[in-house]
């Protein structure tokens, strides 16, 4: 399935692009050099704005290589870009590693995955149907 993603590009930015023919995510690049100390957060500018088609969202996800090599992750992963947002795409990163992470201008820093979104109707009810798990929370199915 192919979906049209309209993109504006400013400040010497590069449009998002797939690194390989089998890539699920489009690479996003920063338009500024940044240094992050351990546990430091920052919003990286991309210089792009996008028009996500109605019925879809764009998810901003971390790059696994940066996570493994440097401990770099996204604070709100995945970050969601709604179909009615038209501002610049920003990437909220955090350095979870033990050393300063230096990102160069133009470096690939995140991935953008476009996915369909189901709209739901809300029905308030007195109780929910029973399941085997019931109200078992975090870790309740992990050791069976």
For the chain, which residues make up each domain, given as ranges?
A: 6-116
Is residue 115 scored above 60 in pLDDT?
yes
| Cis bond before residue 78 (omega within 30° of 0) | yes
What pLDDT is stored for residue 12 in this prediction?
87
pLDDT per position as a tens digit, 74-114: 999 999 999 999 999 999 999 999 999 999 999 999 999 99
Which fold does the domain 6-116 belong to in CATH? Deoxyuridine 5'-Triphosphate Nucleotidohydrolase; Chain A (2.70.40)
Q: How many CA atoms within 13 Å lie on the side-chain side of 18?
A: 9
Q: Which residues contact 100 (CB under 8 A, 6 or more apart)?
A: 35, 36, 37, 38
Distance (Å, rounded) from C-alpha 124 to C-alpha 20?
Answer: 45
pLDDT of 143: 62
Residue among 2, 92, 87, 93 nearest 50 (CA): 87
Assess whether pLDDT exceeds 60 at residue 144. Answer: no
Give the whole-angstrom CA distance, residue 96 versus residue 73. 7
Residue for token pair 């199915």: 141
Structure tokens at 135: 């109200």
User: What is the number of helices (H) and of strands (E) in the chain?
Assistant: 1, 10
Is-contact 92 98, C-beta < 8 A?
Answer: no
pLDDT in tens, 9-61: 997 899 999 999 999 999 999 999 999 999 999 999 999 999 999 999 999 99
Return the SS3 of 14: coil
């Amino acid at each position: 399935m192919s979906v049209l993603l309209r993109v504006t590009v400013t400040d010497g930015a590069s449009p998002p692009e797939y690194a390989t023919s089998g890539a699920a995510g489009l690479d996003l690049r920063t338009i500024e050099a940044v240094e992050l100390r351990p546990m430091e957060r920052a919003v990286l500018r991309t210089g792009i704005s996008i028009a996500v088609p109605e019925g879809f969202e764009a998810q901003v996800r971390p790059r696994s290589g940066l996570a493994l090599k440097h401990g770099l992750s996204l604070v709100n992963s995945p970050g969601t870009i709604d179909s009615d947002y038209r501002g610049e795409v920003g990437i909220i990163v955090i350095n979870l590693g033990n050393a300063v992470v230096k990102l160069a201008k133009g470096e690939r820093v995140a991935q953008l995955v476009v996915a369909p979104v189901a709209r739901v109707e809300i029905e308030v009810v007195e109780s929910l149907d029973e399941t085997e798990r019931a109200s078992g929370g975090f870790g309740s199915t992990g050791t069976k």
